[in-house]
């Protein structure tokens, strides 16, 4: 049985980085080549800001853009422009900026209204008076990261969004306050191995995953039962194997709670001839690519998760598309090539 080493959860790592910066603690070491590029991007920007940089570039890292917006807004005396690539300039951030403006923040749009890049003058912020409570209200956020960014910066946020990512934020904050800097292995990256087994069969052991994970994407184990993939946990991770045939009746899923799983699940359905009714998919059009269109046309369009989902299914891609996966899973392509080589030898 092939052992797979998954990357760390960039969601957890980036939350910890912001908390470390806010509490003036040394930032975690990100020199390991296996660390996702998104984590290195936020780390680089935080270091630059700490040294007084007047401009930082987050490229296409939405997490860094959203977390740094709230972080920089409360850095008294710090003036900085946060910019990204062309795709980032099409990803809305107005809900988070509006919430910060109500707290007294000084933020200007450098380009199109409601979108990056942003010019921020840091100052002491306050919680606005909302009814009888000093809270910030963000209703129907386009991204749960707007809420998380405010929570990490110390604001009391009320929202009608019950995202597992917000629950994760609460738990990371609680653990951080207790001195726990544990970073779990990434469940969202496991999606591509579940996809691989569902399509090609076989058995894999994914090291480091636990059933008690604070990541909502652990729902993978349940979803992939529909594709005949069984999951069993042990002391060191999870074993996944093809134990039955895919049930061909339509699969109805609400992707509001786990948008990062859409590429792997959608391509699994395409390859196995299973109909997918995907609900609450509006946010998928605001990711690194328009994921609905990317899946429809089987084009990565600069999106790391589309690229990995296509690779796992053995779908053809240009060589330069592979570079996108470093955003979250730098070792994925090498691991996949090793697995394919082993499978060919066994045949």
Q: Tens of pLDDT along 96-151? A: 999 999 899 999 999 999 999 999 999 998 876 544 445 677 877 778 899 999 99
Q: Which of 206, 194, 176 is nearest to 242 (CA)?
A: 194
Residue matched to tokens 């989902």: 309
Q: Tens of pLDDT along 302-339? A: 999 999 999 999 998 876 778 889 999 999 999 999 99
Residue 120: how many CA atoms within 13 Å on its side-chain side? 32
Q: Which of 305, 299, 311, 307 is nearest to 186 (CA)?
A: 305
- Asked whether the predicted pLDDT for residue 268 surpasses 60, the reply is yes
pTM for this prediction: 0.93
The pLDDT, as a whole number, for residue 246 is 82
The pLDDT, as a whole number, for residue 344 is 66
Give the domains, in start order, of the chain with CATH numbers. 9-177 (3.65.10.10), 187-346 (3.65.10.10)
- Asked whether the predicted pLDDT for residue 183 surpasses 60, the reply is yes
How large is the average pLDDT for residues 195-217?
96
Bond into 159 cis (ω within 30)? no
The pLDDT, as a whole number, for residue 297 is 93
Q: Where are the beta strands (DSSP E) in the chain?
A: 2-5, 55-57, 79-83, 106-109, 118-121, 129-130, 133-134, 136-138, 157-159, 203-207, 229-234, 237-242, 251-254, 276-279
Number of helices (H) and strands (E), helices first, in the chain?
Answer: 12, 14
How large is the average pLDDT for residues 176-184?
96
Q: Which backbone phi and psi does 34 adopt, to 5 degrees?
A: -85, -10
How large is the average pLDDT for residues 54-63?
96
How large is the average pLDDT for residues 254-265?
94
Dihedral, 197, 200, 202, 204 alpha carbons, nearest 10:
-40
Q: For residue 252, what are the β-bridge partners?
A: 277
- Asked whether the predicted pLDDT for residue 298 surpasses 80, the reply is yes
The pLDDT, as a whole number, for residue 160 is 77
- Asked whether the predicted pLDDT for residue 254 surpasses 70, the reply is yes
Rounded to whole angstroms, how far apart are CA atoms 225 and 285?
27
- Asked whether the predicted pLDDT for residue 42 surpasses 80, the reply is yes
């Amino acid at each position: 049985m092939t052992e797979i080493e998954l990357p760390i959860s960039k969601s957890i790592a980036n939350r910890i980085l912001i908390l470390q910066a806010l509490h003036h603690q040394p930032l975690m070491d990100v020199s390991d080549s296996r660390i996702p590029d998104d984590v290195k991007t936020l780390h680089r920007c935080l270091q630059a800001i700490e040294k007084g940089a007047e401009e930082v570039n987050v490229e296409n890292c939405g997490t860094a853009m959203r977390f740094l917006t709230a972080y920089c807004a409360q850095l008294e005396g710090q003036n900085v422009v946060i910019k990204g690539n062309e795709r980032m300039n099409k990803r809305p951030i107005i809900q988070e900026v509006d919430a910060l403006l109500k707290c007294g923040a000084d933020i200007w749009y450098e380009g199109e209204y409601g979108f990056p890049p942003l010019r921020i003058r840091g100052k002491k912020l306050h919680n606005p008076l909302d009814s009888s409570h000093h809270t910030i209200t963000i209703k129907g956020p386009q991204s749960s990261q707007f809420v998380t960014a405010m929570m990490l910066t110390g604001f009391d946020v009320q929202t009608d969004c019950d995202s597992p990512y917000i629950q994760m934020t609460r738990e990371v904050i609680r653990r951080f306050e207790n001195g726990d800097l544990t970073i779990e292995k990434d469940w969202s990256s496991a999606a591509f191995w579940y996809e691989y087994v569902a399509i090609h069969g076989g058995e894999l052991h994914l090291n480091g995953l636990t059933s008690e994970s604070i990541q909502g994407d652990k729902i993978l184990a349940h979803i992939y039962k529909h594709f005949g993939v069984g999951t069993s946990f042990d002391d060191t991770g999870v074993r996944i194997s093809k134990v039955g045939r895919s049930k061909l009746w339509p699969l109805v899923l609400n992707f509001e709670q786990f948008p990062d799983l859409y590429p792997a699940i959608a391509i699994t359905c395409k390859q196995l001839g299973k109909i997918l009714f995907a609900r609450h998919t509006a946010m998928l059009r605001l990711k690194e690519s328009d994921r609905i269109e990317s899946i429809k046309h089987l084009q990565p369009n600069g999106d790391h998760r589309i690229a990995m989902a296509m690779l796992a299914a053995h779908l053809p891609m240009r060589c330069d598309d592979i570079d996108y996966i470093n955003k979250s899973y730098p070792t994925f392509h090498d691991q996949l090539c090793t697995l394919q080589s082993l499978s060919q030898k066994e045949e």
